[in-house]
Amino acid sequence: MLRFAPSPNGRLHLGHAYSALLNARVADRLGGRLLLRIEDIDLGRTRPDFVSGILADLAWLGLAFAPPLRRQSEHFPDYAAARDRLAERGLIYPCFCSRGQIAAQVAARAARGEAVRRDPDGAPLYPGPCRHLSAAEATARRLRGEPHTWRLDMPAALRTLTAPLSIRRFSPEDGVEEIVAADPARWGDAVIVRRDVPTSYHLAVVCDDAVQGITHVVRGQDLEAATDLHALLQHLLGRSSPAYHHHALIRSEDGEKLAKSKGSEALADLRARGVTPEAVRMMLGF
Q: Cis link prior to 277 (omega < 30° from 0)?
A: no
Q: How confident is the model at residue 188 (pLDDT cuts 50, 70, 90)?
A: very high
Query: Quick one: residue 173, left, alpha or beta (phi over 0 = left, psi -120 to 50 = alpha)?
Result: alpha
Residue 115: the pLDDT is: 86
pLDDT at 248: 96
What is residue 260's predicted lDDT score, i.e. its pLDDT?
61
Which pLDDT score, from 0 to 100, does residue 263 have?
66
Task: Please give the helix or strand (H or E) that residue 51 lies within, else none.
Answer: helix 48-60
β-sheet with 191-193: strand ranges across: 92-95, 149-152, 191-193
Which pLDDT does position 211 carry in this prediction? 97
221-251 confidence digits (pLDDT tens): 999 999 999 999 999 999 999 999 999 999 8
What are the CA-CA distances from residue 97 to residues 106, 131, 150, 153, 234 (Å)?
12, 11, 11, 15, 27
pLDDT of 261 reads: 63
Please report which helix (H) or strand (E) contains residue 99, including its range. Answer: helix 99-111
Query: pLDDT tens digit string along 247-281?
Result: 999 987 766 777 766 667 899 999 999 999 999 99
| pLDDT, mean of residues 165-178 | 96
Residue type, 282: M
Task: Please tell me the distance from the alpha carbon of residue 67 to that of residue 38, in angstroms, as a whole number.
Answer: 13
pLDDT number for residue 251: 85
Average predicted confidence (pLDDT) for the chain: 95
Over the stretch 46-58, which tens digit does the pLDDT of each residue have?
999 999 999 999 9
Q: Summarize the confidence of residues 66-78 as an average pLDDT.
A: 97
Q: What percent of the chain has a predicted confidence (pLDDT) above 90?
A: 89
Residue 36, pLDDT above cutoff 90:
yes
60-64, 199-203, 261-265: least confident range = 261-265
pLDDT surpasses 70 at 117: yes
Give, to the nearest 10 degrees, the angle between helix 201-211 and helix 76-88.
Answer: 110
